[in-house]
Structure 1
Amino acid sequence: MASKVFRISGLPPQTDTNTLREALGLKQEDIINIKAISPCCSDPATKVAIVEFGQGPPSYLKDMIEGHKSDHQVEMAGCDDLNIDMNFYGLAQLYATPHKADISADIVAVTSIAGHAFGSWRGRGNLRRMWLQDFLQKDLPNCRTMIFGYNSKLDSPGIHQIEDYRDNLLTELKKARVSGEEQSRPIIFIGHSFGGIIITQALVKSRDTKPSSDPDINAIHKATYATLFFGTPHRGFNVESLTKMLKIVSFYETIKSQTPEKVNKGFERIGGYQLSVSKTSALLNPPEGEITVCVNEDHTHLVKFDSKQRSAYSDTILNLKRFERAPPGLPAASASLIPTMPPIIPVPHILPASPTVPGSPGINNQTPFRDAYPELQSLQPPLKSRRYYTRIPKGKLEAERKRQQAVSIIKSGSMGRIPDQGKSSFSPEDEENGEKFE
């Protein structure tokens, strides 16, 4: 099984390997692999370490590893308590950067539903490279590269909706971009599957926020220069003028993924094969055009690069380097930068009722897209029917209603279904950091 990765927050600025080992109570023979010590995104006066334990984590972390608690606190002499977690919720910087004035861009990566902020970007090769950290710190050393984590576990008791994830992302970015220099720094988003939907929703909210109400939130969409979408189910969005100023790169998969089925201890990918996100859905096809990249992988492995020699990584870094060289004075984003959401019109959909998949964007929420997570629809038994709402253009309402009478929404893959979330075949490695599906 892959070694688990931990985040240690609240470290003093002068922290080095020795002080960290001492704070964690490690013995001389204990092995610790410090993957990064970087400034905290929300509190630059402290630092955050990302670590692995070579011979297994300390025994005092057992309850957290087994899922009995979400984090663990450690006393550090002369400083505030340290906090250790495995979930990586919020923003986490992946490697140290030069002085703030020399940072060329902020890169923000958002994983998909039921994924892990760190593990979902990690390759499956023998070296288990996490390309956003291991590759970009050498290829883009002047970029502040961050990951965003949120609670969307399939077995979570939470009732999160897409608006919660969106607002959390904006709040974390607001805390990470305080000064005038930071707010004007270009942002490059990277989104995998549902993570791309969270990004787009966040940009819509940022654009619609009046500068007089919250200038920090409004500044986010103005600073956004480009977005790389990996297998994001866009279909159903009104994107007529999305890319007048926003650069778009869309990656799409060409290999089918196995669907999960309920077993005694959760879910395993033992079902049939199907394409999680079709090419039609993964591409925006805006009038101004987009860069499209075909990837010979399934939905999960779209974002798992074992080496720099992977063709998809070559395409990724080529575009990231090009976007990093964006002019420092970005023009203010106009209203046409982000798609306008069509009005919400009630349409009856038949979906499995509670107990539902906690945190799923297509349940207990108004979703702005048409694609499906067909595999997730079978995770819970259909106890009764419910009515849900989705956003569709007014002109298509009547045709949609007629079509709904003839075709079952669950079997047809039409509007209102849960957006797709592909996964590779289940293996013990999928349980990394407590996540069964990345």
Structure 2
Amino acid sequence: MDGLKTLYDPEGADIDIVFIHGLMGGWMKTWTKEEVLWPNELLPKEVPTARILSYGYNADVVHFWSRPADNRIDAISNSFFSQLTNNRSAAEASTRPIIFVAHSLGGIVVANALVDATSNSYGEVSACVRGIIFLGTPHRGSSKANWGEQARKFIAYFKATNSSLLKDLDAKSEKLAKIGDSFPSLLNTRGKQANTRIEVVCFYEGQPMGSLGKIVDETSATLSGYEKIMLDADHSQMCKFATVDDNNYRQVAGQLIKWCKDFSKPVDGSKKDGDQKAFFYGTNYGLQQFSNTGTQTNHFGRPM
């Protein structure tokens, strides 16, 4: 079931880390290698005071690239921020800092949600975002032609054969180009003040996907003015880690550890939230409840 899942919820959490997958991914499978769901099994040991969540949505490539172009991305972004807002309100965590970890086009969902938050009711969530890790997210700027080229790479990568997809690329690429133009502008505006700045690190793939080459190359996967780091993996594997000794994991986890230390206080400067719980809102929201009764438990009910 899609929706927002709470993977780890320690008592006295002081920061939220939220994972969001890309096309053909899932809230669990995108982050799993050799049956190890690393945000659940490995990361809590590194950042024990962070609440960790993962968001899932319909990521079928045909669904994403079908008409109408604007509404598809907007609907995913709005649902994401709506569920996150409700979840944080229920957990009495509305002022807690947020870090996003986004793979592939999940990063575009995040970017679109932040851009649109200025014109809808999700400004409170947006204001709490302090850091974003992009893993192989294409940032193609405002060129519709470049986005069309990137779209064809994704379609080839997922071996999509729906003939109507190619007809929709221009319309979809126009929407993506608008996001590619608006998001850096938002980062620039937020960066003018230390208390609103969003820290960004862009990880890019160092290995090709066979004959397709690199799905999102370094130029596309990075943003001017922000740190960029290569991971020794292809587009699919750059977000999956099985052990803490994996050098790629150490690169990503190291950034999260640093940010958790830097950001571990509410945005409004008040005392950090106390005992936190995640709640189930029913099927409309896809959220689930996991108890926190002194013993830390993960999404599967196992003690940490």
TM norm structure 2: 0.66
1:145 to 2:58 alignment: no
Give 1:279's aligned amino acid: E
Structure 2 residue 27 is the aligned partner of structure 1 residue 91: no
Distance 1:228 1:184 in 2: 20
Choose from 218, 227, 233 the match for 2:123: 218
Number of residue pairs matched by the alignment = 217
1:235–1:284 Cα contact (<8 Å) kept: no
Does the aligned pair in 2 maintain the 1:206–1:221 contact within 8 Å?
A: yes
Task: Give 1:56's aligned residue.
Answer: none
1:231–1:252 CA contact under 8 A, matched in 2: yes
Q: How many Å separate the matches in 2 of 1:275 and 1:316?
A: 20
Question: Do the aligned partners of residues 151 and 202 (structure 1) sit closer, same or farther apart at CA in structure 2, a change above 3 Å counting?
Answer: same
CA shift, 1:221, in A, is: 0.8
Q: Counterpart amino acid of 1:316? A: V
Q: Secondary structure at the match of 2:16?
A: strand
Q: Which residue matches 1:120?
A: 30
CA distance in 2, matches of 1:194, 1:122: 18
- For the pair 1:307 / 2:243, whether they are aligned, the reply is yes
- Corresponding residue SS for 2:52: strand
Q: Which of 84, 87, 91 is the matching residue for 1:173? A: 84
Q: Aligned partners of 2:112 and 2:119: how far apart in 1?
A: 11
Counterpart amino acid of residue 317 in structure 1: A
The answer to whether the 8 A contact 1:222-1:331 is kept is no
Partner of 2:298: none
Deviation at 1:327, TM superposition (A): 5.3
Aligned to 1:297: 233
Whole-Å separation in 2 of the counterparts to 1:314 and 1:177: 28
Give the deviation of 1:156 after TM superposition. 6.0
Tell me: CA distance 1:327–1:118, structure 2 relative to 1, closer, same or farther (3 Å).
closer
Taking a change above 3 Å as real, the CA distance of residues 121 and 179 of structure 1, as seen in their structure-2 partners, is: closer
Question: How many Å separate the matches in 1 of 2:43 and 2:85?
Answer: 23
Q: Which residue of 2 aligns with 1:104?
A: 14
> What is the 5 A alignment of 1:43-62?
none
Compute the displacement of 1:291 (Å). 2.2
**CA distance 1:251–1:198, shift in 2 (3 Å):** same
Task: Report SS of the residue matched to 2:94.
Answer: helix
1:170-228 CA distance string (max 9 Å, x none): 1111111116951110000000000000001111111233xxxx3xx110110000000
Other structure's SS at 2:216 match: coil
Shift of 1:122: 0.4
> Does structure 1 residue 255 correspond to structure 2 residue 207?
yes
1:227-257 Cα offsets, whole Å, 9 max, x none, are 0000000121231561511100110001111
Look at both structures and tell me which one has the larger radius of gyration over its CA atoms. 1
Q: Does 2:187 align with 1:242?
A: yes
3-state SS in 2 of match to 1:148 = strand
Distance 1:246 1:142 in 2: 21
**One-letter code of the match for 1:187?**
I
Mapped partners of 1:226, 1:147: distance in 2: 16
**Structure (1 or 2) with the greater helix fraction:** 2
Specify which structure has the bigger relative contact order, considering alpha-carbon pairs within 8 angstroms and separated by 6 or more residues: 2
Match of 1:318 in 2: 254
Alpha-carbon displacement from aligned partner over 1:360-406 (angstroms, at most 9, x marks no partner)? xxxxxxxxxxxxxxxxxxxxxxxxxxxxxxxxxxxxxxxxxxxxxxx
SS in structure 1 at match of 2:187: coil
**In structure 1, how many angstroms separate the alpha carbons of the residues matched to 2:259 and 2:28?**
23
| Closer, same or farther: CA 173–241 of 1 in aligned 2, 3 Å | closer
Q: Give the 5 Å matches for 1:344-363.
A: none
Opposite residue 208 of structure 1, the aligned amino acid is S
Residue 207 (1) aligns with residue 118 (2): yes
**Structure 1 length normalisation: TM-score?**
0.47
Q: Structure 2: any 5+ residue segments left out of the alignment?
A: 142-179, 192-196, 270-304
For residue 242 of structure 1, what is the amino acid of its counterpart? L
Residue 218 of structure 2 corresponds to which residue in structure 1? 279
